[in-house]
Amino acid sequence: MPEVTTSDGTRIHYQRFGSPDGEPLLLIQGLGADSGSWLLQRFPFGKNYRCIAPDNRGAGRSDVPAGPFDLEVMATDLLAALDAEGIDSTHIVGVSMGGILAQVLAVRHPERVRSLVLSCTACRHHQWRIDLLEEWAEVARTIGMRSFLGEGLRWIVGSRSIRRFWPAMRLFGPIAFDISAEAFVAQIEAILAMDDGLRAELAGIEVPTLVIVGSQDVLTPLGDSEELAALIPGARLAVVRGGAHGFMVEKAGAFNETVLDFLDDVVTAGRVPLRPVAEAV
């Protein structure tokens, strides 16, 4: 897996896959996750797109510098990976914390962004979510990541999937969630340190934007996505029925189809017509 060293000496690993002649597509994962979490998107997205999937600092095979981290710095980590691949501008799919990083890139570096997909993410802090993230950090810091997974997965995975797959989740969750408690806490601190000022700048985003969310998401509920879609001019909102926060895995078919329909529209038409809320099945 290739890597790039950023200006502060942090090594960022990333995966590259898909069509070498396709339009570039930057895939940004969320809190604690690494590039391996795009497993169910590798073939569908890679069929026509040149995909770059970094491990955010602290996750996967990227370095774990001293925390706390900073989302603005983490966004420049992603630019370093693009620079290493000779990519001037790219389509972006950002999930959860990755959706916040995608917003940072669109606002701070608009010349680098061709289109945006903001998935299960938000543009403001709610006190209940601040309290929850602080609780997660405390659990990870004092008891460890395995203890966090028991509670945290209930916010990420739908209740039906938990009932069906809980034994497998207990076994493989710590493997899939490959991050140290130190780095996990540092990423949480970066999220909590991000003020809501970014929200005021979303109206300046000019690229085609899709906001997509699962109807059963309790961590970043539908209201967060409705707000994002209302603030970004011309943004489309898609709701995947039955999807929870981790719907890119639970509802991978609907997620992939909706995202690719949007990207293909952007590539072929150069723009996306305004549409009402879409329900993907």
3-state secondary structure (DSSP) of residue 33: coil
Q: Does a structural domain hold residue 8?
A: yes
The answer, yes or no, to whether residue 51 has pLDDT greater than 90, is: yes
Q: Mean pLDDT of all residues in the chain?
A: 88
Average pLDDT over residues 15-19: 97
The total number of structural domains in the chain stands at 1
With bands split at pLDDT 50, 70 and 90, how would you rate the model's confidence at 49?
Answer: very high
Average pLDDT over residues 63-83: 95
Cα-to-chain-centroid distance, residue 180? 19
Residue pair 4/85 in contact by the 8 Å Cβ criterion = no
Q: Does a structural domain hold residue 28?
A: yes
**Residue 179: its pLDDT value, please?**
87
Domain of 272, CATH number, reads: 3.40.50.1820
**Residue 166: its pLDDT value, please?**
38
DSSP string, 249-280: HHTHHHHHHHHHHHHHHHHHHSS------EEE
Q: Does a structural domain hold residue 172?
A: no
Q: Does a structural domain hold residue 65?
A: yes
Q: What own/partner pairs with CB < 8 Å and gap ≥ 24 does 226-230 have?
A: 227/122, 227/123, 227/124, 228/118, 228/121, 228/122, 228/123, 228/202
Q: Does a structural domain hold residue 145?
A: no
Q: Choose between 51 and 66: higher pLDDT.
A: 51
pTM over cut 0.85: yes
Q: Does a structural domain hold residue 26?
A: yes
Q: Choose between 275 and 74: higher pLDDT.
A: 74
Domain that holds residue 115: 3-124+194-280
The answer, yes or no, to whether residue 59 has pLDDT greater than 90, is: yes
With bands split at pLDDT 50, 70 and 90, how would you rate the model's confidence at 269?
Answer: confident
Q: Does a structural domain hold residue 170?
A: no
From residue 165, alpha-carbon distances to 170, 173, 190, 256 in Å are 9, 11, 31, 22
Q: Does a structural domain hold residue 101?
A: yes
Cα–Cα distance for residue pair 208/123, rounded to 1 Å = 17
